[in-house]
Structures are given as C-alpha cells and as structure tokens.
Structure 1
C-alpha cells in the first residue's frame, strides 16, 4: 500500500480508530518481517543439517585405487565455472601415476573444498597452483593460491567445526573440518602454510604400489 493511499484512508477516521488501524498495520509489518526471518533461518538450518548428514553419513561404496592427479583434474574440471580467465592454473604433477586406495567421491570433496577456497581467496585474480608428488610411501597433493593469506590469529581455528569468516548464510564452517575428517579417515594428514601471496594446503595420503593387490579401506 502506498503512503498517499494510507494517508487518505486515515484522514477520514477519528484519532482513536486511526491509532488502532496504525497499530494493526505496524503489527502486520513486524509479523511479515519476523516470518521472513524465520523462513530464512529455517532454510539455513535445513541446509546445515543436510550438509552435516552428507559429511557424516558418506556413501558406503567400495574403495578402489585412484590416480591422485587424475582425481584432482576431474574435480578441477567440475569447478571450471568458478575460474575466471584472470586466474591462471599452474600444474606440477609427477609423471608416474600415484595411487591411493579410496572412495573417489571422498577425495573429490577434499579437492573441491580446497580449490574453491583458493579461488575465493584470490578475489578473481591470481594463480591457482596444483602439485602432486610422491614422498616415500605418501602421495602429496598441494593446492596453493596467491591470495592475501590466512591471518595468523585465524589459522589455528580454520579446521574447527562451524568456524567460518564468511557472512551469515554464505558458509556452514564445515568445509575444512570435513576435509580433515576425510583425510584422517584415509590415514593421512593435512597441513597449511600461509603468508601474503602464498598459501599452501598439503594433503598427505598413504599411497599404494601398483603391483600390490587391491585392499579395501577398513
């Protein structure tokens, strides 16, 4: 209702009736705003519950030996829409395949979270750096970016559940916690080194020899 229309209607009412009408209108507006907030909050809670369920009840499909570099590339290809032309991708993959016994979807979640975070950190300009190499009996995947870096006071908390620096409604704070959970589930570890212009997340996972028979994760 336009203000002029409201004023015209109230002009013909006595003061007491006008006051009552204004009170009811104000209450209706407050109720509408409250319902909007409840709807928004409910949607966020629903998304959060769904995310928690997805991350704590992952599909129990058989594990297999996966080429780590190929897994990273597959994930990167699905995130192509997030990569602006001003962000360049630098790859440094060991030539020989490095295999990890895993459920492919698990690793895809790890790479997707780390790559998305790197892209967001660079604010549409920079270099996404991907390295895959073998260190003793470990496959090492390094995902780096040239963004502003992680503030030292925040770095100790980035893997904490529900910790996020994003605005309300833009993140659940479960991404990096889920990454660490998946990595640990595979007997691996994750480390971060960050300074302005150079942030690197390294994921270490036990790798398998191609000649060894397939052994499902226990």
Structure 2
C-alpha cells in the first residue's frame, strides 16, 4: 500500500524531528544548569567575603569609637594629636606590603614590643600594624613619648583604622569580582545586544572560559596564544559561545582533571581560526569518524545525548565556517574556521 508507506514515513520523520528537538532542548537545559551552578559557585566566594568583611567592619567601628573616646578624654597636646593622625594616615597610604616571611618577622617583633609595655591584646594589634608595615622604631618612639593610657588608645585606634581599611578593600574586591562575573555572563549571553553583530573572537572565547572557571582545577593549566589585533566575526546571539563551551568542556573532560588546555587564535587569509586543544589521551581511531554524528556518544546512559559536537558543527556551518579535528595521544586539536566579518566569502580548507 504505497499511500500507507508515505504516511508512515512522514509520521516517522515528524517523530524523529520532534525527538531531535527535545534532545537538543534537553542539552540546552543541561548546559544552562551547568552555567547556573558554576556561576553560583563563583559568586558565592566574593559574596561571602563581602558579608564577612561587613560584619568585621561593625566590630571594628565599635573598637574605633571606644579608642577615640578614650584618646580624646586624655590630656593630650595638640602636637601629639597631630602626630597620631599623621602616623595613621601614613600607614593607611602605605603601598609596599611585606611578603610572608618578612611580615611574620615584623609582626613577631611588634608583638614583643607591645607585650613588654603591658598590652594584653598585643597579638591583635601587632598583626594589623605589621600589615601596614609600621616600623618598630616608630612604635617604640610612640610608646616612649606618650603616657601608657594615651599610647594604648592611640595604638588601638591606629590598628583598628588599618583593619577597617583592609575590610573595605575586601568588600571592594568582592564587589568588583561580582561585577566582573555579571559582565562576563552578559557577554556570554549577549544580553542587551543585537541578535547579530560583529564580535571580537578573543573576547568571546575568554567570556566562555570565565563561565567555566569552576571546571578548571588547579592541575589544569591554560595556555593562551592570541593575536595582538582584534579579529571580528559576525555572530548571532550567543551561538558561538555554545561552540567554545562544548569544545572546552570536552577538552577538560578528556584530561580527567589534569593537563594543559591550549587556546590558539590566529588569522589565516580571510579566515579566523580558533584552535582548542588538550594533551589528553586523544580520540580512538575507531571513534573519530563518528564524533560529529548526531546521537553518537561514548558517555554512559543519562550522561550525554551525543548532540554536543553535532550542534557545534551545525552552528559553525550556519556562520559560514567549518570545523576539523586532529588527534593523537597527548595532542588533540579542534580547529574552527570562520570568515572574518569584513570578508563575506571565506577561503575554507577542504574537509
């Protein structure tokens, strides 16, 4: 029955298309989940640091208020008042922090000086004064020239001011990190931007790499070889970022948490070439011809749909480019060739 055959084939084709669409949507949701989890992880550290610093500021302000109240209740000459304020300002403006060993030595020396003058909380004060690189001679001079109670209040005020400055810096750094992450996500998703535009390819790759920072363990080194001049490609939304995300994630997984991720971007005639490589075990010869086939995967059930590299190739071709792979143990490279934005007809390699 030819008519029945036509209807069955049409129905099967519709179901295949619908199944493919569902699997692609699932892959996008999985990628979105990974991005959200990574972003939450990256945001948690600076947000927690800023929260801890704000709590520390509240405590430090109480100490500062008490020290000031004690200091200004004391009979103190105007010259000594100016001296304390000048010393505090100079320590806050110090831009030469000490390294670990020198800092430890100075802190120990200042601690012994304070203890010799009866300071019970010498360890709290010496740490702050050492971070501000306060010379031991300056501390000795201050203790010698002021009476005991005035010196105690003055040194507590100075040390607390140093702590406040450090806490404010922590909040500034945390806030800046959060802003950078939000800017990175906006670059990655192309929020507030036109659907099609000329994009600096290095910025696109780096924005993607930043969103995957949670996958880059300390044992994975990133080697970058980038051009000095900007290379522009015409892209639609965040589609190319999906390409880089898939290729970088595959490279990281191939190295099993240890190795070298190699990012090489260069110009070849009228093309831009983005090469993403790793020094993992390589792709087995029997698998290599099928890696771009839809639904082909070497992962376990539920771990992958086999549409990642097929989607990559589809997006690259949509942008008028091509993708190639060269692999051997210790050196696997995916090359994405894309036409430069100022040339409409790319000279792409065969394959």
In 1, are the aligned partners of 2:271 and 2:337 still within 8 Å (CA)? yes
**Conservation of the 8 A alpha-carbon contact between 1:71 and 1:104:** no
* Superposition deviation, residue 204 in structure 1: 0.1
Matched, 1:50 2:183: no
Q: Which residue of 1 aligns with 2:274?
A: 141
1:124-203 correspondence runs (5 A): 124-203=257-336
When the two chains are superposed, the root-mean-square deviation of aligned CA atoms in Å is 2.3
Name structure 2 gaps, 5 residues minimum.
1-19, 30-189, 345-351
Q: Measure, in 1, the Cα distance between the counterparts of 2:26 and 2:204.
A: 22
Structure 1 moving runs of 4+ over 6 Å: none
Spell out, residue by residue over 1:109-161, the C-alpha distance to the aligned partner (whole angstroms, 9 max, x if none): 00000000000000011000001111001010000000000000100000000
Question: Could you say which residue in structure 1 is the equivalent of 2:15?
Answer: none
**Number of the residue aligned with 1:98:** 231
Rg bigger for which structure?
2
Q: Distance in 1 between matches of 2:326 and 2:301?
A: 27
- Mapped contact 2:24–2:307 kept (Cα < 8 A): no
Question: How much has 1:103 moved relative to structure 2?
Answer: 1.6
1:69 is displaced (CA, Å) by: 0.7
SS in 2 for 1:101: strand
Deviations 1:174-210 (A, max 9, x none): 0000000000001100000000000000000001239
- Partner of 2:281, secondary structure, is coil
**Aligned counterparts of 1:136 and 1:173: Cα–Cα separation in 2:** 33
Query: Mind listing any 5+ residue stretches in structure 1 that lack a counterpart?
Result: 1-44, 213-218
Instruction: Report the count of equivalent residues.
Output: 162
Higher helix share: 2
TM-score by length of 2: 0.44
Closer/same/farther in 2, CA of residues 138 and 49 from structure 1, 3 Å limit: closer
Q: Distance in 2 between matches of 1:129 and 1:49?
A: 28
Higher relative contact order (CA 8 A, sep 6+): 1
Residue 122 of structure 1: which of 214, 232, 255 is its match? Answer: 255
